[in-house]
Amino acid sequence: MSKIALVTGVSAGFGKAIAEKLAACDYKIIGAARRWDRLQKMREQLGEERFLPLQMDMTKTEEIDRALADLPENWQNIDLLVNNAGLALGLDKAYEADFKDWLTMIQTNIIGLTYLTRQILPQMVKRNRGLIINLGSTAGTVPYPGANVYGASKAFVKQFSLNLRADLFGTQVRVTNIEPGLCEGTEFSNVRFKGDDERAEQLYQGAHAIRPEDIAETVAWISSQPEHLNINRIEMMPVSQSFGPQPVHRF
């Protein structure tokens, strides 16, 4: 019998690749996103028996409630929750940033993720099985100029994931945080730079960055592990990316 996975942000990038990979691994996919036209295309691609579209905006808790309430009875026992939906907006210094951008990142990356998790978690605990995979970022560990609230939101995801593990002690519910570095083949930088596609393209030129398929393979691997094993966190970067010295400003 196929397991059921709920994947957020499924209309592009990581989410789309994850849904496709999990469907190939015999999961039934509940695909959540805002863009209905893309959800419809995915249903046509994967088939109605394999893919259930769920339109919702992660920044609106009432939309999450409505979408979950609309789930057919035979789609309600979710075995795998992939909290993929998230975004970065801008690379401005904190004293120059648009607070509306900060608020959108907080509402999506923190409030939406935690609210959806809170709605799904009780059924997993009741059935004493399930897996939650959160999409964090190396930005949650390594600070860089302009990452301010985005990096802080991903640090929240990292610590939230670990604290969920502490709360779930004594159950068979598992939690993993995947923390990618530089990734291409998604809309992430196009969104961050607010439609400046040229700037986004320059960021990845020659970098051989991580691809959505790499993240999808990682999700599939985690989900295939035996139920007595929990992968706490995975940090991953392209070979072309590394760490640098701490800068020192000399007066």
Question: So what's the pLDDT on residue 195?
Answer: 81
Residue 185 has pLDDT above 90, yes or no: no
In the chain, at which residue ranges do the beta strands (DSSP E only) sit? Answer: 4-8, 28-33, 51-55, 80-83, 130-135, 173-180, 233-236
User: For residue 189, what pLDDT is reported?
Assistant: 82
The catalytic residue among 27, 144, 150, 204 is 150
Of the candidates 11, 171, 10, the one whose C-alpha atom is nearest the C-alpha of residue 83 is 10
Structure-block tokens of residue 196:
């400046």
What does the pLDDT read at residue 202? 85
pLDDT score for 178: 98
**Nearest CA-CA partner of 113 in 89, 143, 134:** 134
What is the reported pLDDT for 97? Answer: 96
The CATH number of 4-236 is 3.40.50.720
- Sort strands 130-135 and 80-83 into parallel, antiparallel or unpaired: parallel
Active site residue 27: no
> pTM here?
0.95
What is the tens place of the pLDDT at every residue in 12-27? Answer: 999 999 999 999 999 9
83-138 pLDDT, tens digit per residue, is 999 999 999 999 999 999 999 999 999 999 999 999 999 999 999 999 999 999 99
Sketch the domain layout of the chain as residue ranges. Answer: 4-236
**Are the C-beta atoms of residues 134 and 190 closer than 8 Å to each other?**
no
Could you list the beta-strand ranges (E) of 106-236: 130-135, 173-180, 233-236
Separation CA 208–CA 167 (nearest Å): 39
